Amino acid sequence: MKKKWMVFVCLLCLSAVSWGCSGGGSGASTETETQAVDAAKNGDAKILTVYFTMPETDGTDAVSGASRIVENGDVVGNTQFVAQQIQDTAGGDLFQIETTKTYPGDHDALVDEASQEQDEDARPELSSEIDNFDQYDVVFVGYPNWWGDMPQAMYTFFDTYDFSGKTIIPFVTHGGSGFSDTISSIETLEPDAEVVSSGLSIARDDVADAGGDIKTWVEDLGFAK
Ligand SMILES: Cc1cc2nc3c(=O)[nH]c(=O)nc-3n(C[C@H](O)[C@H](O)[C@H](O)COP(=O)(O)O)c2cc1C
């Protein structure tokens, strides 16, 4: 069954708006970004990996290509899987962004809910809080691409925490759109942070096999523990 947001992605491709329809992949860091990361990891930078994930409960199976995969017998969302791999390599703390509202597990209901939230520019209330956020120097921030944007809960997240002086390293999982314009959105939301604009983008079909690439990406940034 064709997914509603896939039609949206294809229309964007056809109209030549650049959403990165190739399926993503990690890009090389620019010199400025490398300097930012160098500065951040200098000494013993405190690292946090945060992510939002919403694994769908319907669909075929918990297999690669669905919005959930099996990791050591546990079913995890795509973005959660990537976040866990990053933390495994980089060390530091891991935090899941959660909301007080419950999203539908059913795909169609979830895409409708996400679309409505986006139309309303909603700020879903968060139910979890990061202890002593000030202590972190480097924050890997991950989310699924929803309708060519971040889930609205990510906007609540960026409204909630002050990233001044921190380095943000974004990562995304997606069905063909890559980051869309989300990195510029983060730069706008957090003007006093260093945002590594190349980030890591992994297509949903590739997530389950991406462990090696994720490890290499984190190591190339210089954050291997
Ligand atoms: C509400 C919703 C909207 C989506 N919109 C897009 C989109 O616009 N472009 C895209 O490439 N993928 C889109 N996807 C696919 C997700 O980005 C992809 O399945 C992602 O890996 C899900 O991550 P998760 O399992 O961590 O929630 C959408 C998925 C959902 C549920």
Asked whether the predicted pLDDT for residue 153 surpasses 50, the reply is yes
Q: Is ligand 1 within 6 A of the CB of residue 110?
A: yes
Pick from 49, 68, 145, 180 the residue to mutate for probing ligand 1's pocket: most ligand atoms within 8 Å of its CB.
145
- Quickly tell me which residue has 């759109």 as its tokens: 177
Q: What is the pTM of this model?
A: 0.88
What is the pLDDT at residue 32? 58
What is the pLDDT at residue 30? 54
- Which two tokens mark 138? 């480097």
Contact 109, 101 (CB under 8 A): no
CATH number reported for the structural domain that contains residue 52 in this entry: 3.40.50.360
* Distance separating alpha carbons of residues 69 and 89, to the nearest angstrom: 19
Side-chain half-sphere exposure of 101, counting CA atoms within 13 A: 12
> pLDDT tens digits, residue range 23-56?
334 433 456 566 667 766 665 789 999 999 998 8
Q: Is ligand 1 within 6 A of the CB of residue 99?
A: no
Asked whether the predicted pLDDT for residue 134 surpasses 90, the reply is yes
Average pLDDT over the chain reads 84
Nearest alpha carbon, ligand 1 atom 17: 174
Mean pLDDT of 152-172: 97
Centre of ligand 1 to C-alpha 194, Å, is 26
Q: Is ligand 1 within 6 A of the CB of residue 8?
A: yes
- Which two tokens mark 29? 């860091």
Q: Is ligand 1 within 6 A of the CB of residue 145?
A: yes
Centre of ligand 1 to C-alpha 158, Å, is 20
User: How many domains are contained in the chain?
Assistant: 1
Residue span of the structural domain in which 28 resides: 4-221
